[in-house]
Amino acid sequence: MLTHYLLFLAKTATVVLALLILAGGVIYLSRKGARQRGPRIQVTDLRAQYRRNGFLVEQHRLDKASAKAAAKARKRREKEEAADMGDCTFVLDFKGDLRASAVTNLRDEVSAILDAARPGDRVLVRLDSGGGMVNAYGLAAAQLLRLREAQLQLIVLVDQVAASGGYLMAVTAHEIVASPFALVGSIGVVAQIPNFHRWLRERHIDFEQFTAGKYKRTVTLFGENTDAGRQKLREELEDIHSLFRHFVTEYRPQLDLERVATGEAWLGIRAKELGLVDRLATSDAVIQEAARRGRVLAVHAQSPGSWTQRLGLRAQQAWDGLIGAGNHLPS
């Protein structure tokens, strides 16, 4: 039995080692490919897209003679618009997850816009996020501040949700526009972590952890948590919440923080009454309004294209998830 057991362990160790080597190789290749290719920016002329779609519907709505006349008028209008080098509106999309992974593309998109923008241009950010890690969303907010510091008009559009870390990003804007039933707010912080200490103790499994520094660890997954550790974690959360409140106050000083910084979130209609957003509208309405005034360009940094890059990115995210347990999250 011992021989069979040792053989089983050897096979298992071999499989695990092979998987680790494969994952490491894929991550290395993906990073190498990303360095070689660099960021790829895709630009879509949304005004032209709206015009094409509208023209298609118009052709079906009109009779043959009227449709022909409308097509000629459209060509004249397109020439006039092409000659108009007035203000431009840029559109960015940010779909947030727990780790704000989209910040990687956001930084490239912001850099591209800053290199091309002119005085008077505006940036619309379609934001959809329920929040996540403090440091990740803090970086995302800082990327948006680069646009504001460049004297570009920054407007955040919320169709569904901008809560917690999402709202941390939203407050950097000169104007926040939300749909009537979007979820907005949640100015609060939460940290949650399971503890398996009792389960391990019942099975006579010891867990040992060695640290240097009084508060290197406060609460853990497998050790026995103490009241002192819990208290320290609460103090850290309160400090993060205080910084969150201060950041919101800096960019939206009109808010009554005692009323809105409770960790609650509100639908767009209530958020407007509380001053969390400035007006109610869908992102589509705002973008079409901009298209009537001038050129509208959607800027998107493309994700890694090859299968090794995509697989490497997924492997890296999975690994980060394993080692990142216990980080503080805006709630």
Structure token pair of residue 209: 């952890």
Across 262-318, the runs of DSSP E, i.e. the strands, are 265-267, 279-280, 295-302
Q: Please, what is the Cα angle at 177 between 116 and 300, to 5 degrees? A: 35
Collect contacts of 80-83 with beta carbons under 8 A, ≥24 apart. 81/47, 81/295
- 216 part of the active site: yes
Q: Which of 30, 164, 186, 331 is catalytic?
A: 164
- 68 part of the active site: no
Asked whether 219 and 280 are in contact (CB, 8 A), the reply is: no
Closest CA to 262 of 160, 186, 156, 180: 186
Q: Which of 64, 72, 214, 216 is catalytic?
A: 216
Phi, psi (degrees; rounded to nearest 5) at 215? -115, 30
Q: Other C-beta atoms within 10 Å of 142: how many?
A: 14
Which residues are known catalytic residues? 164, 216
